[in-house]
Structure formats: C-alpha cells, structure tokens
C-alpha cells in the first residue's frame, strides 16, 4: 500500500445521417432497436472523435456477443428494476447458498438521491490510487450491462460477466424454487457482483444502492462506511413524499458502529439520519462541519478545488468534471476514503496529497456533464428528476458560455417530468422532445404537451426518433453561425443519454 500520510473541423451532421435509414434496412439479422442504435453510432461516429474506453461496447467476438445476449435475455425475464417487493429475504437466501461472499471484504455503501454513481467512481479512484484492489457496483448502466460490475476501475469483461452468471445460476434457480417470488433482475445482478468481488478477490467493495436503503438488495452488506449523498424527492411512490420520509428508508444502510459520511441534507432528512446514527452508535461526519469544499474555480475541462477533509486541507486538486455538485461529490468521496483509512479517528494525519491529486485528476463519470462532440458542442447529462436538473442547469451555465442552448429531452413516464422541464426552462432557448427505446419512456407527444405548457409552443419541437432529435438540435444550435457558440444538452434519462452516446460514437 502507498503511504497514506501526510477543435477540429467537423463534418455536417445532416450528411452523416443521410444513410441512416439505409443502414437500418440492411440490418435484417439484428435486433431492430439495437440496429437503430448501432447504425446511428456508425453514421455519427466522425462527430465525436475516437471512442472512449471507459464504457465497453458489444463484444467483438460473435460467440461471446451471442452468449452475452443470451444472458441478457434470461435476466430480462425477471422483474425489472421498477417492480419491487420490499424485502431482502430473497437476496439473503441467495447469499446464504453462495457462502456469504459479501462478508469476505470490507465495503463502502452509498445511498442518496443524486450523485451516487459519480461519488462511487471518485471513491473507487481514490482507493485504487492507494493500491487497493476495488470492486464497484453501480446502476443503472449507461450503455452496457457489464458496466455495473467493475474491478480495478474497469467494467468486467463480457466473458467474465457470462462466467459469473453461469456460476451463480444454479443457486439462483434453487432460491427461486424456495421463494414466493423469483429473484428480480437487480437481485441477480447484485448476487453476481458480490460473488465476482469475492472471486477476484477485492480489498474493498464500493456499492451503490439501487433504490432506497433498508430493503434494497445491496443491503446484505455491513458497510464499514455509509455514505449518504443529497436526498431530494424521487421515487416518492415507493420511498415517501418528503425528504424526511425518504431518509428513513435510506438510513437503513447505516449499520452498528459504522462511520457515516453525510452530504448536505434538508433539515428533516438530516434529523432522521443523525437519529439513526445515534441508535446504532455510528460516528458521523457532516459536510459543512467536519469536511467540505473550501474553494473552487472553473478550469479548462473541469475545475480546481480545495477540499477540507477529516485530516486537513487538500489544495489545488484538479477535478475533470463540471459543476459545483461534482465538487461537493468530491468532498464526500474524500471524506469516505479518509474514514475508511481511519483518518480523523485512529490517525490524525491526512492522506498523501499527491496521491489524492493523481486520483481525482483521473476521474471520469460518463453521461454526467460529458462533452461528446464539438462544433457545436454536445453535452450529455443523465439528470432525470427536478433536483438533478437544477444542478445540471447551473453547471451548464457555469462551465460553458453558450450563446444559445438547445435541449434534447427524453424522459421516463414515471418521473416528475414537469419539474424537470421547469428546471431547464431558464437555460434552454428551445427544446426538442423525443423518446428512448425503453418501455418506460414517456411518449414523445405526451412529453411535448407538458413541454408546451412550460416553454410555449414556439420553443418546442417534437422528434420521436432520437437520431432525428439529435440532428434537429444540432441544426438549431448551428443557426447562429459557426462561431456563435450554440450548444446542445441531451438529458432526461440515463437511457436517453446512453443511446445518444452510442449514436454520437462514444462506445
């Protein structure tokens, strides 16, 4: 273990899309929805530069790709992530027959409403920089299901994903036969992650809840450190109608004698979380009191921050992510890793500053204020609720000097779509509403009806197909001329962002 002390010219997008329908028609042997996405990826690839390696694409070997599709098809027969029966009985039974793999390594458990995945990635980067082998489990995925399970900072290979599924499948079927309901899609993936981490083996697991806390499938671990990112209103039909009610459910990840890292919270949520900490004798560190953001300034490609951790100040830390919210996520991540190493409790000295700087400089968070194209600039952000949309709108205004910003919005039907659109109304000159390929996607015409009420009819354009929506938005952004500074923000859903990312050649 390391010492822990102390722009080019771009082709016209309309030309790139000319052959889109022809390519789709030629994809006669492929899944129709996937053909649309991958054909768009080819026709728009020149717009986005070289593919990024942080999110895997489809396997290149046909046999591996076929096997992965078979696993995905089997998983798809189970309850989806929006259908829940609040209980950890099934996942606990699976862990029992697997030999309790989640007990073989310490863990950092993350809940909250927004910022969980970015925070998990930062924690993972910090732990890796200090030469610990990490396992990270996050959801949902942006493009590939294999993203959800990472080892040493990279998604597990398709081959390893398939092998892990085949290893746990007999035990999954055994539990299915014993329970009233079969294990869900998310429960099986959680079991796979915990088994993969034990098999690696990892030194520490960084685990993001799927939803809530107490009865979330991930909550069969006893996190040495529990992290709660900002709580706001989301999934109110399942978690509660106020931040305090939602916090009651999320507080379930706080275990006996753990350390709790609390991001800034609404008062009623903070009260619930602090009471739970007292009840289980947990130690609490609160953003704004024990740790926080001291200073930040916009820098090229991100920001330069000074963070106050549990062991002291860490200055001149470059974070290649945009927005004040990401600086706060960084402060939370740093405090979580300090707590894991015992800084501020067993040891007073801070983590090595050079290692911390190196770790943060290497952080990425695909689909979160991610620039995927220039001339005009296209930014992807997976904001899907009003709280997330507000911080994204603020971040766009701070990080980019767009003279005209065009929104591309495709949302899920079970979200507070009006609140999301209202958060973006001040920053979008016009909005192109669309829909992604998910069965949960809100119909484009229904979304347009809400958008017209928020933006006015003259600022709303409807393009049900995402490729058409991207082309329309890019065209609108270019109307002010080559040097006018128009931009496009694609948002509303992780699925919309993932599909747009593929269409723009990232993956």
CB count, 10 Å around CB of 58? 16
Question: Could you tell me the pLDDT band of residue 481, with boundaries at 50, 70 and 90?
Answer: low
Among the listed residues 174, 144, 177, the one whose alpha carbon sits nearest the alpha carbon of residue 57: 144
Rounded to the nearest angstrom, the gap between the alpha carbon of residue 165 and the centroid of all alpha carbons in its chain is 23
The angle at the Cα of 342, spanning 228 to 132, to the nearest 5 degrees, equals 85
As a whole number, the mean pLDDT across the chain is 87
> Which pLDDT value is given to residue 143?
87
Both tokens of 21, joined, read 């329908």
CB 424 within 8 A of CB 393: yes
Residues 490-498, mean pLDDT to the nearest whole number: 93
pLDDT greater than 80 at residue 35: no
Kindly state the average pLDDT of the residues 290-306: 95
51, exposed or middle or buried, with CB in 10 Å at 0-12, 13-18, 19+?
middle
Lowest mean pLDDT among 16-20, 130-134, 459-463: 16-20
Task: Give the rounded distance of the alpha carbon of 349 from its chain centre.
Answer: 32
Of 120, 99, 103, 102, whose CA–CA distance to 209 is shortest?
120
Instruction: Give the contacts of 14 (CB within 8 A, at least 6 positions apart).
Output: 471, 475
Q: How far apart are CA 441 and CA 18, in angstroms?
A: 26
How many C-beta atoms surround the C-beta of residue 426 within 10 A?
9
Read off φ and ψ for residue 68, nearest 5 degrees: -65, -40
> How crowded is residue 362: how many other Cβ atoms within 10 Å of its Cβ?
14
Share of the chain above pLDDT 90, in %: 71
The answer on pLDDT for 271 being more than 90 is yes
Between the alpha carbon of residue 302 and those of residues 49, 305, 316, 319, 359, the distances in Å are 19, 10, 13, 6, 14
- Average pLDDT, integer, range 156-173: 97
Is residue 165 pLDDT above 90, yes or no?
yes
pLDDT at residue 483 tops 60: no
Among all chains, which residue has been given the structure tokens 């009651």? 248
Q: What is the pLDDT of residues 391-429, one digit of tens each?
A: 999 999 999 989 999 999 999 888 889 999 999 999 999
Residue with tokens 């921050």: 305
Residues in Cβ contact with 151 at an 8 Å cutoff, skipping those fewer than 6 apart: 133, 134, 135, 196, 197, 200, 202
| Other CB atoms within 10 A of residue 29 CB | 6
Q: Is 482 a residue whose pLDDT tops 50?
A: yes
Which residues sit opposite 430 in a β-bridge? 406
Strands 204-208 and 107-111: parallel
What pLDDT digit, counting tens, does each position of 215-224 carry? 999 999 999 9
pLDDT average, residue stretch 203-207: 98
- H or E element: which one contains 421? helix 417-424
> What confidence score (pLDDT) does residue 440 get?
83
Query: Confidence class of residue 340 from pLDDT cuts 50, 70 and 90?
Result: very high
Distance from C-alpha of 358 to C-alpha of 75, rounded to nearest angstrom: 38
Report the residue count for the chain: 507
Q: Can you give the pTM of this predicted structure?
A: 0.84
Q: Name the β-bridge partners of 298.
A: 303
Quote the tokens at residue 382. 């997976």
Q: Helix-strand-coil percent breakdown of the chain, rounded to 5?
A: 45, 15, 35
Gap between the Cα atoms of 145 and 177, Å rounded: 26
**Tokens matching residue 122:** 């930062």
- For 168, other C-beta atoms within 10 Å of its C-beta total 23
Q: What pLDDT score does 79 carry? A: 87
369: left (phi over 0), alpha (psi -120 to 50) or beta: left
Around Cβ 99, how many Cβ atoms within 10 Å?
12
Residue 200: helix, strand or coil by DSSP? coil
Contact criterion met (CB below 8 Å) for 355 and 392: no
């Amino acid at each position: 273990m390391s010492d822990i002390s102390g722009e080019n010219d771009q082709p016209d997008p309309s030309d790139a899309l000319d052959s889109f329908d022809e390519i789709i028609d030629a994809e006669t042997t492929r899944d129709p929805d996937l053909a649309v996405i991958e054909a768009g990826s080819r026709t728009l690839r020149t717009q986005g530069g070289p593919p990024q390696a942080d999110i895997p694409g489809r396997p290149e070997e046909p046999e591996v790709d076929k096997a992965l599709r078979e696993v995905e098809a089997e998983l798809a027969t189970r309850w989806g992530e929006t259908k829940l029966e609040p209980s950890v009985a099934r996942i606990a039974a699976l862990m029992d027959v697997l030999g309790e793999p989640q007990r073989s390594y310490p863990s950092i458990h993350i809940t909250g409403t927004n910022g969980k995945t970015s925070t998990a990635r930062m924690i993972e980067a910090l732990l890796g920089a200090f030469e610990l082998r990490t396992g990270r489990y996050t959801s949902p995925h942006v493009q590939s299901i294999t993203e959800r399970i990472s080892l040493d900072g990279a998604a597990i290979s398709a081959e390893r994903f398939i092998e892990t599924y085949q290893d746990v499948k007999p035990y999954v079927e055994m539990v299915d036969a014993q329970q009233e309901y079969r294990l869900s899609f998310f429960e099986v993936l959680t079991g796979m992650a915990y088994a993969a981490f034990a098999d690696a083996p990892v030194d520490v697991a960084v685990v993001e809840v799927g939803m809530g806390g107490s009865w979330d499938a991930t909550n069969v671990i006893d996190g040495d450190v529990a992290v709660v990112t900002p709580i706001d209103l989301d999934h109110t039909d399942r978690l509660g109608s106020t931040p305090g009610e939602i916090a009651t459910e999320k507080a379930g990840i706080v275990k006996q004698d753990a350390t709790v890292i609390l991001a800034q919270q609404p008062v009623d949520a903070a009260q619930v979380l602090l009471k739970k900490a007292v009840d289980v004798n947990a130690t609490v560190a609160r953003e704004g009191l024990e740790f926080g953001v001291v200073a930040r300034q916009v820098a090229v490609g991100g920001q330069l921050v000074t963070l106050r951790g549990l062991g002291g100040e860490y200055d001149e830390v470059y974070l290649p992510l945009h927005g004040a919210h990401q600086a706060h996520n960084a402060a939370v991540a740093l405090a979580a890793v300090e707590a894991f190493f015992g800084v501020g409790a067993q040891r007073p000295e801070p983590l090595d500053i050079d290692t911390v700087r190196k770790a943060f400089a290497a952080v990425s968070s695909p689909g979160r204020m991610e620039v995927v194209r220039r001339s005009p600039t296209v930014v992807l952000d997976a904001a899907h609720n009003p709280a997330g949309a507000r911080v994204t709108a603020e971040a766009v205004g701070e990080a980019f000097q767009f003279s005209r910003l065009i929104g591309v919005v495709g949302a899920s039907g079970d979200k507070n779509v009006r609140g999301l659109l209202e958060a973006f109304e001040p920053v979008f000159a016009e909005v192109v509403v669309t829909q992604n390929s998910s069965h949960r996607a809100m119909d484009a015409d229904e979304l347009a009806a809400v958008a017209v009420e928020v933006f006015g009819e003259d600022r709303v354009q409807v393009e049900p197909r995402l490729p058409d929506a991207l082309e329309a938005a890019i065209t609108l952004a270019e109307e002010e001329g080559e040097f006018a500074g128009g931009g496009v923000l694609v948002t509303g859903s992780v699925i919309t962002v993932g599909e747009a990312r593929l269409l723009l050649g990232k993956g």
